[in-house]
Structure 1
Amino acid sequence: MGKIATTLGRMIKQDQATMNRDKLEFARVLIEMDISKGFPNSIKFEDEKRSLVYLEVSYEWKPEKCATCDGIGHTSNVCKKAKVVEQMKKIWKPKEVTETVKNPPEKETEDDQRFKKVKGFIWLLETKVKASKMGALYLQMFKGWCFSSNLAHHPNGRIIIAWNPNSFEVDIKGGTNQLIHCVLKPKRGHSFALTVVYAADDSKTREILWRDLVTISEGMKIPWIVGGDFNAVLNPEERLEYRGNANELIPFQTYVNKCGLEDVKYNGRFFTWNNKQDGKNRVYAKLNRILATSDWIDTYSTAEVSFLPEGDFDHSPALLTIYPSMQNIKKPFRYFNFWKNLNGFLDVMKQFWQEKVAGSHMYQLVFLLKQLKFGLKSLNRQGRGDVELQEKEAYQHLLNIQQQL
């Protein structure tokens, strides 16, 4: 197979059915080709009996190439350079010099600004981009990046992933119509596995996804992270005005427990999806999340997910920062006014302030302030525990009221 494929280019891999010889009607291989040499519809080679054999070649996707400028992603009839050449053939007449007012440059959209923040890896869900439009999408959004999709498993391309080759090396291990599984090797850092998920709407099809993820977890030997739209909630409070059966939560909860996954620390929007309806008809739910194994969280202990405002979408974009820029900066000491209302505040002040210190007046002041800082930090931890206890009691009170309603 490799010898036949090399007549077209460099063979990268074969699909499982071809390797197992399950389908003898055709062979399906992934080949890196030189676009300048075109895409032949057939190839010829000599078999083991030195007979000349002709084979028909078909392509799942071919990028559009312009015959005028040799650019990729468009044809000659829409090529800007072709229009310029056509205009140059006309008789040129100098125009009168007049004052013109230049239009101000178009402002970047919020989505453009969000994309610029992404330095290494991005995934898009529910794209509905067909194979014929992939070239245009690449030029618009991923120019200079590498990208892939699960078009081979779903005609509308439910998942697209893209990465900056200067930031990551990506080895795609497989995919289905609900996931893409790969291994990422950052230029700086440790390799880890990533599974991008876009779960189906119906629970029966999602059961297939849960089983696939459990199978992946059983052979996992490196840190693993799973992210995307799971189309399910883990707990009743993750869906506003939840009216479903508690048993509907069990399959997702079981999968998460079997795979040993937990939520990566996050901030921003709690509900990551809403149905965009008005008034009482609006529904909120936490359908998008990023989960990881404990060894991934230990490896990237400062990682954090920010769920951003949804804008025109019905889902909130998630921005995962693996190396926060402030991680190594020491936080300065701050005095909080509420400390003076805590029990034991005056006792701490007296204990540290009445300590006898030898030296100049300035030395004594600086030394006592440093010692007092440790006492106030200890008092802060006690006060923070009291606040957290009050928060839990208030939340339990809220649940009791909701239950009575």
Structure 2
Amino acid sequence: MNLKLLSWNVRRLNEVDKRLQVRNLLRSWKELTGLISWWDLPWCLGGDFNIISFPSERLGTASFSWAMYGFSDFISLHGLMDISMAGGLYTWSNSSLASRLDWFLYSPLLADHFTQFTQKRMSRVLSDHFPILLEGGSQQRGRIPFHFENMWLRVDNFVDKVKMWWASYLFQGTPSFILAKKLDLKKWNETEFGNVMFKKQDLWSKLNVLDAKEETHRLTVEEKLVQVNLRTDIEKLTLLEEIS
């Protein structure tokens, strides 16, 4: 006779919604295991798992739970690899709560093909989840193309300025070079708007400092206000920076 025994912390498990959560989690791991067995290919599984594998991945947690054991067993069973994350400890936070709920788990076959995986937590503006940037290998860099900025259309007499610049200059070179020089938009853009990209980078940098501090210390009222204002300013600059 085969005996299969599942044991977990049964506290509050008499509640209907808690029993449903248990069944759904067990079903999820079983379904993912089935999908993995279908292909012998390199793959990466990423997203909001809404679960942690160790107590250190949740602020203020010191003990294991049945859910952590289930997630850890799933990772171990398939030999999945976890990419170390730069930029912060947690991927979700709300007031005094913080956890690492978002994951990128990849197969050993994928590790054989791509040896330069990096994972970085980015800053957030609206969501209670932090965006996670996953990169593999180096980027190819070429000549920067000419872009038209939507924010230019919000300026009065923009069309008249374009007509004047178009008639004032004669240049030789590639079509895109001639177009950019004729429009002379770069200098005008810096004068009219300032360097939006560098302004955003400065705001992101300040926001990153506060987000990192919030993981280990409670922010003061003044710091929380600065945090909110930084996110508001970033959102405004992002709207200006739209590229068509």
Give 1 or 2: higher strand fraction.
1
Tell me: higher relative CO, structure 1 or 2? Use CA pairs within 8 A at least 6 residues apart.
2
- Which has more radius of gyration? 1
Q: If the TM-score is normalised by the length of the shorter chain, which range does it land in?
A: 0.3 to 0.5
TM-score (ref. length: structure 1) = 0.28
